[in-house]
């Protein structure tokens, strides 16, 4: 009898472990954009190093810029290259991230038309322990063209690794912004993006 109980407990543990090893879907996905923005003749866009969680800010910003380089419409300056060139021109990088005006100033130094700013957050006790927010700013006007927030869950165990979920959230944001850049390059206004929510999720889970 005791052996059967132990076997059942072991099977339950395996089921939980298998369930936790699968990749979850997006728990937060909110996309806001400036509907009145008229696409202009952009040529160069820079991606600044993200702010937020120091452990992940460099990885997330570089991976995001890697995604953007898949499109043929604009020249993309990666965070590492942007940091080198901006520093060489005498501008210091703020530890807590760029304000919009500082981001515009940095972009002007590189003669860029638009700039991406991002922030990475990790919270263990949250519905979305990994959350990435990214803004696309027009350098000339300072307008926020689009703001995108993507959040992923994480199973809190001793072996839990947030790195994978940071990558998944960055992937999702990168894919969506590829569509945004295509709209702008084609001279079209930005359209709402599909939510791509996980199965069996409700509308409330799409709100922050």
Question: What are the structure tokens assigned to 95, written together?
Answer: 């530890």
Q: Please report the sign of the dihedral spanned by the C-alpha atoms of residue 123, residue 134, residue 101, residue 84.
A: positive
Instruction: Answer whether residue 32 is part of any domain.
Output: yes
Instruction: Answer whether residue 125 is part of any domain.
Output: yes
Contact 51, 98 (CB under 8 A): yes
Whichever domain contains 177, its CATH number is: 3.40.50.10610
pLDDT given for residue 29 in this prediction: 79
Name the pTM for this structure: 0.78
Task: Give per-residue pLDDT as tens, 24-36.
Answer: 666 677 888 888 8
Contact 49, 77 (CB under 8 A): no
For residue 122, which of 94, 163, 158 has the smallest C-alpha distance?
163
Pairing of the two strands 75-77 and 130-138:
unpaired
Residues facing 146 on adjacent strands? 33, 136
Pairing of the two strands 51-52 and 75-77:
unpaired
Task: Give per-residue pLDDT as tens, 80-126.
Answer: 999 999 999 888 877 778 899 999 999 999 999 999 999 998 876 65
> Which residue ranges in the chain fall short of pLDDT 50?
6-22, 156-159, 196-208
CA distance 7 to 204: 39
pLDDT given for residue 93 in this prediction: 78
Number of domains in the chain: 1
Instruction: Answer whether residue 3 is part of any domain.
Output: no
Rg (CA), the chain: 20
CA distance 50 to 131: 12
Question: What are the structure tokens assigned to 148, written together?
Answer: 């995108």
Render 111-129 in DSSP notation, one character per residue.
T-SEEEEEEEEE-SSSSSS
Domain that includes residue 155, residue range: 24-193
pLDDT given for residue 25 in this prediction: 64
pLDDT given for residue 85 in this prediction: 92
């Amino acid at each position: 009898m005791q052996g059967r109980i132990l076997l059942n407990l072991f099977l339950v543990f395996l089921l939980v472990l298998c369930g936790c090893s699968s990749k979850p879907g997006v728990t937060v996905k909110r996309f806001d954009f400036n509907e009145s923005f008229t696409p202009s003749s952009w040529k160069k866009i820079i991606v600044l190093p993200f702010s937020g969680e120091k452990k992940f800010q460099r990885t997330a910003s570089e991976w995001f810029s890697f995604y953007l380089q898949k499109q043929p419409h604009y020249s993309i300056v990666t965070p590492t290259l942007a940091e080198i060139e901006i520093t060489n021109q005498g501008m210091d990088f703020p530890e807590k991230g760029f304000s919009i005006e500082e981001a515009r100033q940095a972009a002007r130094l590189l003669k860029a038309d638009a700039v991406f700013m991002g922030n990475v957050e990790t919270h263990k006790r949250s519905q979305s322990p990994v959350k990435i927010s990214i803004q696309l700013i027009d350098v000339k006007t300072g307008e926020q063209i689009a703001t995108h927030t993507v959040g992923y869950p994480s199973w809190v165990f001793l072996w839990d690794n947030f790195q994978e979920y940071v990558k998944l959230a960055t992937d999702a944001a990168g894919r969506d912004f590829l569509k945004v850049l295509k709209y702008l390059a084609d001279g079209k206004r930005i359209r709402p993006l599909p939510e791509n929510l996980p199965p069996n999720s409700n509308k409330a889970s799409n709100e922050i």
